[in-house]
Amino acid sequence: MIKAEDFTDITYQVEEPDAVAVVTINRPERYNSFRGRTVDELIAAFKHAWADRRVASVILTGAGDKAFCAGGDVKERAETGGYGETEWGIFEIQRLHQAIREIPKPVIAAVNGVAVGGGHVLHVLCDLSIASETARFGQSGPRVGSFDAGYGSAYLARVVGEKRARQIWFLLDLYDAQTAERWGLVNDVVAPDALLDKAHEYARKIGSYSPTALRFLKHSFNADSDHLQGLGNVAFAGLDLFVESDEAKEGAAAFAEKRDPDFSPYR
Ligand SMILES: CC(C)(COP(=O)(O)OP(=O)(O)OC[C@H]1O[C@@H](n2cnc3c(N)ncnc32)[C@H](O)[C@@H]1OP(=O)(O)O)[C@@H](O)C(=O)NCCC(=O)NCCSC(=O)c1cc(O)c2ccccc2c1O
């Protein structure tokens, strides 16, 4: 497992007064999109936080004021056909989803900018989400030749309801923080410079409560939707094959070349 001092794509800090681990995706030049290395580091960070008795909750955020996370690094995918080197030679995004759900401590997303594609899925999987007033939310897979037919769609529908989830995935618009709050996609909306303070306020409260009670509650909330993991296994197996196709490659290439994709041959 990657040691915290070797992290290149994220930063990891334990802030003891609030008993919180702050995990920051640190690729602002790529809108904090993730490659394989980023995903490996995020998994390691959640394991560090899980094992550390000083930590009662985790804040997940992005560096800078533009992006929380723009999902998979589409430029890397367009250039290399994949998401780059990883520790085990596997792109372990599903393991990251599991780590966020299974760590027996609440995870708070502090959404500081765009949360799009796989980055939107990350915040949806967090236990709580706080948005900056400037945050924007949405999915983009069908525009760039991708989809998340596991938690990213089925669990999203539990959060916002079927119609809104289908709207998010079929229209691919971006929604502002106020709309996200109205839809129940985020718990709070605050001014950009108050975002981390609000996240720490949540963490401080959580840190004062019984960790065992919180652990049972988190597992209990999860139990009802844990079977979606199986759906995710099917979906990601399909996605691995789909991203190899000309149709999916057209989506990634169009994004990198700053043009509209032409999916008409694949109808
Ligand atoms: C995020 C945006 C809506 C922001 O739009 P805006 O107009 O504000 O900014 P720009 O478009 O000018 O972007 C600024 C700058 O950042 C670069 N950038 C943005 N997003 C990415 C990205 N995802 N990868 C790489 N680089 C990115 C952008 O190119 C600009 O750089 P310049 O050098 O040109 O200045 C908008 O940018 C946007 O729509 N971005 C793409 C969002 C997206 O499609 N994400 C990927 C979805 S697919 C995915 O997430 C995914 C997840 C998985 O878990 C998978 C698992 C297995 C296989 C595939 C998976 C997968 O595809």
Instruction: Express each pLDDT in 132-176 by its tens digit.
Output: 999 999 999 999 999 999 999 999 999 999 999 999 999 999 999
| 114 among annotated binding-site residues | yes
89 belongs to a structural domain? yes
Query: Is the pLDDT at 200 greater than 90, yes or no?
Result: yes
92 belongs to a structural domain? yes
Question: Looking at 112-247, which runs of residues are DSSP E strands?
Answer: 114-116, 128-132, 136-138, 175-176, 188-190
Q: What is the pTM of this model?
A: 0.98
Q: Average model confidence (pLDDT) for the chain? A: 97
Separation of CA 74 and ligand 1 centre (Å):
6
| 117 among annotated binding-site residues | yes
* Contact residues of ligand 1, CB 6 A cut-off: 30-31, 33, 70-75, 91, 93, 114, 116-118, 140-141, 144, 146, 239, 243, 255
Which atom from ligand 1 is nearest to the alpha carbon of 140? 44
Separation of CA 114 and ligand 1 centre (Å):
10
What percent of the chain shows pLDDT beyond 70?
A: 100
77 belongs to a structural domain? yes
98 belongs to a structural domain? yes
CATH of the domain at 68: 3.90.226.10
**ipTM of this model?**
0.98
Q: Whose CA is nearest to atom 55 of ligand 1?
A: 72
Report how far residue 171's alpha carbon sits from residue 54's, in angstroms, rounded to the nearest whole number. 43
| 146 among annotated binding-site residues | yes
151 belongs to a structural domain? yes
pLDDT band at residue 106 using 50, 70 and 90 as cut-offs: very high
Question: How far apart, in Å, are the Cα atoms of 118 and each of 16, 123, 124, 218?
Answer: 30, 9, 10, 22
Count the Cβ atoms, other than its own, within 10 Å of residue 217. 15
| 184 among annotated binding-site residues | no
| 258 among annotated binding-site residues | yes
Look at residue 1 in the predicted model and tell me its pLDDT.
85
| Tokens read off for 52 | 């550390």
Quick: pLDDT tens for 30-79.
999 999 999 999 999 999 999 999 999 999 999 999 999 999 999 999 99
Which atom from ligand 1 is nearest to the alpha carbon of 239? 58
Look at residue 253 in the predicted model and tell me its pLDDT.
96
What DSSP assignment string belongs to 40-103? HHHHHHHHHHHH-TT-SEEEEEESTTTEEE-SB-HHHHHHHSS----SSSS--HHHHHHHHHHS
232 belongs to a structural domain? no
110 belongs to a structural domain? yes
Mutate to test the pocket of ligand 1, among 38, 39, 74, 137 (most ligand atoms within 8 A of CB): 74
Q: Whose CA is nearest to atom 52 of ligand 1?
A: 118
Which atom from ligand 1 is nearest to the alpha carbon of 152? 54
Residues 98-117 have a mean pLDDT of: 98
Structural domain of residue 23, as residue ranges?
4-195+211-223
Separation of CA 75 and ligand 1 centre (Å):
8
Separation of CA 66 and ligand 1 centre (Å):
12
24 belongs to a structural domain? yes
Position 184, amino acid: G
Report how far residue 122's alpha carbon sits from residue 228's, in angstroms, rounded to the nearest whole number. 15
- Tell me how many domains the chain contains: 1
Query: Is the pLDDT at 21 greater than 90, yes or no?
Result: yes
